[in-house]
Structure 1
Amino acid sequence: MAEFDIEASVNALIEQNRQRLQANAAPFNPVTGMGSVGERTLVEIPDFPIPRQWLPDTMLTVPLVKKIIKAGSIRTFITDTLRAEYSAGTVDQVVDQFVRVRNRHDFPFWAATFVYIQNKEGGGEVLFRLTRPQRKFVAKLEEKRLASRPIRLVLLKARQWGGSTTSQLYMMWLQLVHKTGLNSIIIAQTKKTSFAIKDMFDRALNAYPVQLLHRLGDAYSPGEPKMVNVGQSGDYKRIPQRDCKITIASYEAPDAVRGDNYSLVHCSEVGLWPPTDLKSPDSVVRSACSGILLRPYTMIIFESTANGTGNFFQREYDAAKAGRSQFDALFISWFDIDHLYSKPFEDENQRREFARSLIQNKQSHAVASSREEPGWYLWWLWEQGATLEGINWYVEERSGKESHAVMAAEYPTDDDEAFVHSGSRVFDKSKVKEIKKSCRPPQYIGDVYADADEGRGAFSNVRFTEDSQGLLWIWNMPEIDPAEKVLRRYLVMVDIGGRSVKADWSVIVVFDRLPMIDGERPVVVAQWYGHIDIDRLAWKAGQIAAWYDNALLVIESNTLETHDKDRQVDGDQSHFVLNQLANVYPNLYARSRPEDSIIDGAPVKYGFHTNVSTKPMVISTLVKCIRERMWIERDERACDEFNAYEKRQNGSFGAITGKHDDILMTRAIGLHICFYDMDPPRIIPRSSTTITRHHTSSNVATI
């Protein structure tokens, strides 16, 4: 890159960084409402204690607010609208009523006006003013409340930004301001942690104006207790004015979880809850949440930093992110917490040099030590939205960590790297990102059917039927010319899972190799993904292959042959299932046989066998294919599996705990066969078409 181009790029980067810094530091005043959460409108009431207020739009429909705005002042509202005597007492009543209305519509205002918390920097208690990541969190909660939906959220977070505090105070807001009778429970890993969260609640309630616990005009005593014990344990507290209870429980001693009805559940640091012989995170959460109805003003929060993979918290987060549960997912990265994780530059020259280095090394994969990140990764941080000052902090903090995994555990950049790998990643994340660019939703969803489910009838009248809940996704329909056939155009690869919902997934993918005629890349055009009996899967794969012009059908056979218990499939059905299919489907992939086996009349072995020799081979092929973008991917789930695949400390390959590699293996084996075990596609007259069974070349598969 020419020096002029570099300087122009540096200038552009510096300007974009200025805009990011400006956006991060945008004015926020929870009392006036400027820059606060949600849609707001500026309202000016000159004689109100806060003359200029950015009020939530939902508040503008309240009759009292509408009338005051229309009057233009408190005085005019009192004298002309209420036709009452203007006095200090009347003004106080109107202002009090207005503030109570705003409390119901404006959590940031309520928190910054009436809620005191312990100042972490020392110096006593301070009013609770939301930080930028806390506002992001509250915006997600408010989205559900304002839609009259139950609040269900799995919060994956970086450390030390007050997620637990925000969760608990939002629950307190619902209890004290919105509805009476909302019982809540706090469940942390230890009793000590639960009481620490509860202590924050106690501090806030102690300083809370007692009159706000009553309706306007109700009689009350200024010294009346705002919280009373229920029983002797101290685990249960009651707020008599609001007819609600606050229960303290811990994962270590979950007895308090049972035997009560809750509307609000806060489960803190769920990722740290270890399963034991006597309890599991699932069972404790189920006990606390089983009685909660799917109604407005109910709330369940699972919040935690990540702690490894395959645990309850990761499963819940993944399900929420994929839209498979009633929960929403929210991730807070380290660079969202810019008030803590940012390092200013000494001067503008230092900032420009940092920006120049970022640009010049954005393609670099080299590092000088294990305490550094390569240039491409630092550039990726920029692309994710971090500021130069944030990346500057990251570089310094990273120098104190011996590996990327340790850094990612405490300061994740995205939700993928939050769940730390125990081994090393197999695929370059930056290259996977490039593969992902071609992914898109399918054009059609449904399944293929025929006149029968098996036997010769399974290939009679093969047809596709659209169904929004179907398991077959299609990006491109089969292209079949009645006059010409493209030999070796379509390749169908099958990875066999199990039939139970807890088993691995079965995957059937279709590659179109036609672009290879012109030196272009093959492309994924269809994929079936689900749970099914093994014999039904084989016939289903045959039908899809037949529909795609009698494509070469490759089935990974070792799952059947080795009784792989981890995959939760039935016993050895390989010969029965595959031989039945081979009798009626003309283009089934078979492994080569040693010469003496042929002489002895040994049966043909159908399918691709993945073993200690072939698995590293196909994974190496996939590494190359991802690195060089050798095919066009369509399914984002494939890229998710690439990013969750590791080489373990014992040298084996596999998905990180709690993840799958079923789609990945169809790509690894399918692409290996596509590039190294099939001749290029060729166009011939369809009348001269003949189909022979495909055998591997002797130097590819070993058995």
Structure 2
Amino acid sequence: MIAVAEEQELAEIERLLSDKWWRMDNLYKIENERGELVTFKLRPAQRLLFELMHWLNIILKARQLGFSTAIDIYLLDEALFNKNMKCGIIAQDQQAAGEIFRTKIEIPFDNLPAWLKSRFKVKSRRSGAHGGYILFEHGSSLQVATSFRSGTVQRLHVSEYGKICAKYPQKAKEVRTGTLNAIHEGCVAFIESTAEGVGGDFYGMTIRAIELTKLCQALSHLDWKFHFFAWWQDPKYRSPVPATGVTMSKAQREYFEAVEEAMGCTIDDEQRQWYVLKEVEQGAEMKQEFPSTPLEAFLVSGRRVFNAQDVMRAESRCKAPLIVYDMDPVTGERHKVSKPERLDEQGQRSLANMTLVWELPDEDEEYAIGVDIAEGLEHGDRSSIDVVKQSNGEQVLHWFGHIDVEFLAELTAHIGRWYNMAYIGPERNNHGHAFILKLKDIYPGSRIYAEQYIDREDEDETVKLGWLTTRHSKPILTEGMKVLLKNGQSGMRWIGTVSEAHTFVYDKRGSMNAQEGCFDDQLMSYMIAQEMRVRMPKRVKKQETQLEYRHWMTR
């Protein structure tokens, strides 16, 4: 009977050990905030991450949610219970690498039950203040360092990549060109970080991952899936509410209402009380360290042009395009695309040069087009096209990317003809001149915006086609946009347009531009489209009338 009982117990142990999630919740010891040795348990947000995880994962998060610890335990478990599994953790600096190896790898491994630890024979092991490495006899390994320059990894964690990009740009370049290029199909990778301002690789990769997520299409093994975890998702961020109620200002109340609208969540009084008290301590860093929405996480330096709450509400109204086309700029032929295959410089699948359509043309509707024209070079600024409905200003089509100026003009003409001979407003600045020269040869001049004058002295002066953006004309665009945003009528459907509204700021000279490291081309084409919607001439529709015969004396 004893032997049978022992066999049953061993069988139950083996059954439990075959369950990764049981192992994650029961086997590993970590140090808590007080330095005490406790059994690691997955928190709700951590468990949700693993339930939703993809092959490649970008995680934008609030502080102190414990994702770094959970992911490192995941990698240690992968190395222990799989053969020939190479795992790597990249830390933000050498001190962090040493601390991660000691607290997230050595302590959990060294404190395994003796009977279990004896199964994992160590072939070599080294540790120090700058990281560490452990190789097991069954061929698996786990290394913590600040970068990996050679070889491939099957499991990867890049910790606080936003901080790496902000503080150590050269190291970020090493990670991008070395480690991330070594990722192959079948690798499981996590890039997690709090945001550290806009610009840089982490910001760019996050925005592109958000854009792909908005497509609502199945991701490939080489696509990065976006995950966002806000402060209000963690149950520990709460404070008792005084008998007099939450002590918050009118601006804070409006902020919470905007967050609830943007994220479809409810923030109760205890959460509001915690946030108000924490904001006193954190000040300007609050939005970065404890973000409520994805775009808010990226701290904007400089005074915003557009009200943050209004932009947040616009973020909530973004939605996936109805159709994605690969559109030939020369012939105008459209081919539906289920998965865009174009890769950007980071190897991410990109929606650049794709035509995103939210609504097909309605024969009873008129449309306005705004175009922001760039040089067309692969690594320079992008060009952008937006189509909006004249009736309500909603964004119905969007295109952005790198393309030769003359091809951009042909593409715009095809889109204009498709949308009922839409009224086109191309920006005339810089490369806009070459664009307009081509466009006026292939598109009706009456449907291209001509610069409008008041009290013009020389009536014989040649009419100038296109919108000229200057220090004086740009406020016309932005003031109109502010009104639309405030009234909840911006019509924005594309997250890229909203993200550029988020990072559009006044510089030191008082000029309005994209914050350094960001773009404003998608925003500019959209604001021009909205201005064209107001300025477009009324078209007289010909009506067929039946002539009635009457005697000439009665006429």
TM bucket by the smaller chain?
0.7 to 0.9
Contact 1:445 1:474 in 2 (8 A): yes
Aligned counterpart, 2:346: none
Q: Displacement of 1:447 after TM fit?
A: 6.5
Q: Secondary structure at the match of 2:447?
A: coil
Q: Displacement of 1:343 after TM fit?
A: 0.5
Whole-Å separation in 2 of the counterparts to 1:173 and 1:542: 57
Aligned counterpart, 2:226: 329
Query: For residues 468-617 of structure 1, what are the structure 2 equivalents within 5 Å?
Result: 468=337, 471-480=354-363, 489-513=366-390, 515=391, 521-560=392-431, 573=434, 576-578=437-439, 580-581=441-442, 585-592=445-452, 595=456, 597-599=458-460, 602-617=461-476
Q: Secondary structure at the match of 1:529?
A: strand
1:423-475 CA-to-partner distances (Å, cap 9, x unmatched) read 2332234434555666544444436779xx4xxxx8xxxx7644226833444
Whole-Å separation in 1 of the counterparts to 2:258 and 2:168: 43
Aligned counterpart, 1:19: none
Whole-Å separation in 1 of the counterparts to 2:369 and 2:389: 9
Aligned counterpart, 1:158: 62
Contact 1:176 1:213 in 2 (8 A): no
Aligned counterpart, 2:279: 398
Q: Taking structure 1 as reference, are residues 686 and 165 closer, same or farther at Cα in structure 2, changes over 3 Å only?
A: farther
Q: Taking structure 1 as reference, are residues 525 and 203 closer, same or farther at Cα in structure 2, changes over 3 Å only?
A: closer
Contact 2:30 2:37 in 1 (8 A): yes
Q: Taking structure 1 as reference, are residues 278 and 338 closer, same or farther at Cα in structure 2, changes over 3 Å only?
A: closer
Aligned counterpart, 1:91: 5
1:371-394 CA-to-partner distances (Å, cap 9, x unmatched) read xx4321123345534332111100
Aligned counterpart, 2:296: 417
Q: 1:344 aligns with which of 205, 221, 240?
A: 240
Instruction: Give the letter aligned to residue 394 of structure 1.
Output: Y
Instruction: Give the letter aligned to residue 10 of structure 2.
Output: D
Q: Taking structure 1 as reference, are residues 375 and 589 closer, same or farther at Cα in structure 2, changes over 3 Å only?
A: same
Q: Secondary structure at the match of 1:308?
A: coil
Contact 2:325 2:334 in 1 (8 A): yes
Q: Displacement of 1:684 after TM fit?
A: 3.9
Instruction: Give the letter aligned to residue 685 of structure 1.
Output: Q
Q: Taking structure 1 as reference, are residues 126 and 413 closer, same or farther at Cα in structure 2, changes over 3 Å only?
A: same
2:528 aligned with 1:669:
yes
Whole-Å separation in 2 of the counterparts to 1:686 and 1:421: 57
Contact 1:210 1:226 in 2 (8 A): no
Whole-Å separation in 2 of the counterparts to 1:91 and 1:291: 49
| Structure with the greater alpha carbon radius of gyration | 1
Aligned counterpart, 1:229: 125
Whole-Å separation in 1 of the counterparts to 2:327 and 2:144: 54
Q: Taking structure 1 as reference, are residues 91 and 647 closer, same or farther at Cα in structure 2, changes over 3 Å only?
A: farther
Instruction: Give the letter aligned to residue 26 of structure 2.
Output: T
1:486-523 CA-to-partner distances (Å, cap 9, x unmatched) read 8xx3322222134344333323323332x4xxxxx344
Q: Secondary structure at the match of 1:591?
A: coil
2:111 aligned with 1:207:
yes
Q: Displacement of 1:607 after TM fit?
A: 0.6
Whole-Å separation in 2 of the counterparts to 1:334 and 1:430: 18
Whole-Å separation in 2 of the counterparts to 1:524 and 1:686: 33
Whole-Å separation in 1 of the counterparts to 2:162 and 2:327: 41
Q: Which runs of 5+ in 1 are unaligned?
A: 1-85, 145-150, 216-223, 359-365, 368-372, 516-520, 562-571, 688-703
Whole-Å separation in 2 of the counterparts to 1:474 and 1:331: 26
Whole-Å separation in 2 of the counterparts to 1:278 and 1:528: 30
Q: Secondary structure at the match of 1:344?
A: coil
2:523 aligned with 1:646:
no
Instruction: Give the letter aligned to residue 577 of structure 1.
Output: K
Aligned counterpart, 2:258: 380
Q: Secondary structure at the match of 1:685?
A: coil
Whole-Å separation in 2 of the counterparts to 1:439 and 1:189: 33
Q: Displacement of 1:234 after TM fit?
A: 8.4
Q: Displacement of 1:125 after TM fit?
A: 1.0
Q: Displacement of 1:204 after TM fit?
A: 1.2
Q: Taking structure 1 as reference, are residues 402 and 305 closer, same or farther at Cα in structure 2, changes over 3 Å only?
A: closer
Instruction: Give the letter aligned to residue 588 of structure 1.
Output: I
Q: Taking structure 1 as reference, are residues 648 and 385 closer, same or farther at Cα in structure 2, changes over 3 Å only?
A: farther
Q: Taking structure 1 as reference, are residues 270 and 529 closer, same or farther at Cα in structure 2, changes over 3 Å only?
A: closer
**Which stretch of structure 1 is more off in the superposition, 275-284 or 612-621?**
275-284
Instruction: Give the letter aligned to residue 183 of structure 1.
Output: K
Aligned counterpart, 2:344: none
Instruction: Give the letter aligned to residue 402 of structure 2.
Output: H
Aligned counterpart, 1:13: none
Contact 1:236 1:245 in 2 (8 A): no
* TM-score, length of structure 1 as denominator length: 0.66
Whole-Å separation in 1 of the counterparts to 2:116 and 2:389: 68
Aligned length: 518
Aligned counterpart, 2:19: 105
Instruction: Give the letter aligned to residue 546 of structure 1.
Output: R
Whole-Å separation in 2 of the counterparts to 1:94 and 1:437: 54
Q: Displacement of 1:655 after TM fit?
A: 2.9
**Which stretch of structure 1 is more off in the superposition, 666-675 or 268-277?**
268-277
Determine which structure has greater relative contact order: mean sequence separation of CA pairs < 8 Å that are 6+ residues apart, divided by chain length.
Answer: 2
Q: Displacement of 1:260 after TM fit?
A: 4.5
Whole-Å separation in 1 of the counterparts to 2:72 and 2:540: 66
1:290-323 CA-to-partner distances (Å, cap 9, x unmatched) read 444322xx43222221111111111222233333
Q: Taking structure 1 as reference, are residues 283 and 609 closer, same or farther at Cα in structure 2, changes over 3 Å only?
A: same
Whole-Å separation in 1 of the counterparts to 2:168 and 2:282: 35
Aligned counterpart, 2:96: 193
Whole-Å separation in 2 of the counterparts to 1:133 and 1:631: 33
Contact 1:213 1:242 in 2 (8 A): no
Instruction: Give the letter aligned to residue 198 of structure 2.
Output: T
1:537-588 CA-to-partner distances (Å, cap 9, x unmatched) read 1122223223333332211111326xxxxxxxxxx63574355446x64432
Q: 1:115 aligns with which of 28, 48, 51?
A: 28
Whole-Å separation in 2 of the counterparts to 1:271 and 1:436: 22
2:182 aligned with 1:304:
no
2:484 aligned with 1:625:
yes
Q: Taking structure 1 as reference, are residues 525 and 380 closer, same or farther at Cα in structure 2, changes over 3 Å only?
A: closer
Q: 1:173 aligns with which of 58, 71, 77?
A: 77
2:137 aligned with 1:248:
no
Whole-Å separation in 2 of the counterparts to 1:672 and 1:390: 41
Contact 1:175 1:242 in 2 (8 A): no
Q: Taking structure 1 as reference, are residues 172 and 376 closer, same or farther at Cα in structure 2, changes over 3 Å only?
A: same
* TM-score, length of structure 2 as denominator length: 0.82
2:431 aligned with 1:431:
no
Q: Displacement of 1:414 after TM fit?
A: 1.7
Q: Taking structure 1 as reference, are residues 528 and 205 closer, same or farther at Cα in structure 2, changes over 3 Å only?
A: closer
1:144-190 CA-to-partner distances (Å, cap 9, x unmatched) read 4xxxxxx322222221232221111100111112x122222222122
- Give the % identical residues: 22
Whole-Å separation in 1 of the counterparts to 2:313 and 2:151: 51
Q: Taking structure 1 as reference, are residues 477 and 167 closer, same or farther at Cα in structure 2, changes over 3 Å only?
A: closer
Instruction: Give the letter aligned to residue 607 of structure 1.
Output: G
Aligned counterpart, 2:204: 315
Q: Taking structure 1 as reference, are residues 647 and 207 closer, same or farther at Cα in structure 2, changes over 3 Å only?
A: same
Whole-Å separation in 2 of the counterparts to 1:153 and 1:445: 24
